[in-house]
Amino acid sequence: MIFQLVFVIATLLLHVTVAGSGTEDGKSTQLLDFDITSSFNEAGRRIISINGHDNTYGPTIRVKAGETINLKVQNHICTAKEALLGEQDLLWREFCDTALHFHGLVPIGNENDGVPGLVQDAIKTGDIYWYNFTIPANVCGTFWYHSHSSVQYGDGLRGIVIVECPEYDSLARAIANNAGIDEVETPGPFKIDEAETNDVGPAMEEQIISLSDWYSEFDLDVMRDKVMAYDGTTDPHIDGSLINGSEEQDIEFTLAEDTEVIVLRIINTGMSGTQIFHLEDHKMIIMETDGILVKPYVVETLSMAVGQRVTVMVHLNEDVISGNRALKIVNGCNKMMGYITKTAWFVKEKGANAKSSTKANIKYLPGLNKHELYRELEPHDSTGITGLWESDDIQRIELEYSYHSDKDTKNKFYTGMYKVNGKVFDEYYTDPIILNNGQVAEITINAKDHMRHPWHLHGQPFQVVSLGAGREGPLNLQSPDTDAARRYQQDLQFWRDNNRTPMTRDSINIPGNSYAALRIKSEFQGKWLLHCHVDWHIAKGLGVVLEILPENAKNTAEISTDKQDPSAQPTQPTNRLQVLLVYFLVMVAINTALYKLLM
What digits encode the pLDDT tens for the residues 330-387? 999 998 889 999 999 999 988 899 999 889 899 999 999 999 999 999 999 999 999 9
* Residue 243 phi, psi (nearest 5): -120, 115
- Flag whether 378 is in a domain: yes
- Written as one string, the DSSP assignment of 217-238 is S-HHHHIIIIISSTT--SSPPP
Which of 161, 154, 153 has the alpha carbon at shortest distance from 105?
Answer: 161
232 and 357, same domain (yes or no): yes
Beta bridge partners of 500: none
DSSP 249: S
SS3 for 428? helix
> In this structure, are 143 and 171 located in the same domain?
no
Query: CB–CB of 544/425 below 8 Å?
Result: yes
- Whether 550 and 471 map to the same domain: the answer is yes
- Residues forming beta bridges with residue 32, ordered by sequence position: 71
Domain membership of residue 569 (yes or no) is: no
Instruction: Please identify, among 385, 401, 416, the residue that sits at the C-terminal boundary of a domain.
Output: 385
Same domain, 242 and 371: yes
Say what the pLDDT of residue 572 is: 44
Q: Tell which of 360, 385, 410 closes a domain.
A: 385
User: Same domain for 506 and 401?
Assistant: yes
Same-domain status, 242 and 207: yes
In a domain, 565, yes or no: no
Q: Is residue 545 part of a domain?
A: yes
Residue 572 lies in a domain: no
342 and 398 part of one domain: no
pLDDT of residue 556: 43
**Total domains present in the chain:** 4
Task: Examine residue 359 and state whether it is found in any structural domain, yes or no.
Answer: yes
Are residues 407 and 276 part of one domain? no
Specify the CATH number for the domain of residue 401: 2.60.40.420
Residue 567 lies in a domain: no
Give the end of a domain, one of 132, 158, 184. 158
End-to-end CA distance of the chain: 16
Please choose, from the candidates 494, 432, 421, 495, the residue with its C-alpha nearest in 3D space to the C-alpha of residue 458.
432
In tens digits, the chain (599 residues) has pLDDT values of 444 444 444 443 333 333 355 554 457 999 999 999 999 999 999 999 999 998 999 999 999 999 999 999 999 999 999 999 999 999 999 999 999 999 999 999 999 999 999 999 999 999 999 999 999 999 999 999 999 999 999 999 999 999 999 999 999 999 999 877 777 788 999 988 766 666 668 999 999 999 999 999 999 999 999 999 999 999 999 999 999 999 999 999 999 999 999 999 999 999 999 999 999 999 999 999 999 999 999 999 999 999 999 999 999 999 999 999 999 999 999 988 899 999 999 999 888 999 998 898 999 999 999 999 999 999 999 999 999 999 889 999 999 999 999 999 999 999 999 999 999 999 999 999 999 998 999 999 999 999 999 999 999 999 999 999 999 999 999 999 999 999 999 999 999 999 999 999 999 999 999 999 999 999 999 999 999 999 999 999 999 999 998 875 554 433 333 434 555 565 443 333 443 444 455 455 555 555 555 55
For residue 272, the enclosing domain spans 165-385
Q: Which amino acid is at 104?
A: G
380/249 same-domain check: yes
Check whether residue 96 and residue 236 sit in a common domain: no
106 and 213 in a single domain? The answer is: no
Contact 174, 327 (CB under 8 A): no
* Beta-ladder partners of 434: 547
Rounded Cα–Cα distance for residues 317 and 327 (Å): 9
What is the CA angle 18-19-22, rounded to 5? 60
Whether residue 594 sits in one domain with residue 542: no
Does residue 573 sit within a domain? no
Residues 6+ away with beta carbon under 8 Å from 212: 56, 154, 241, 242, 245, 268, 269, 270, 271, 333
Q: Using DSSP, state whether 456 is helix, strand or coil.
A: strand
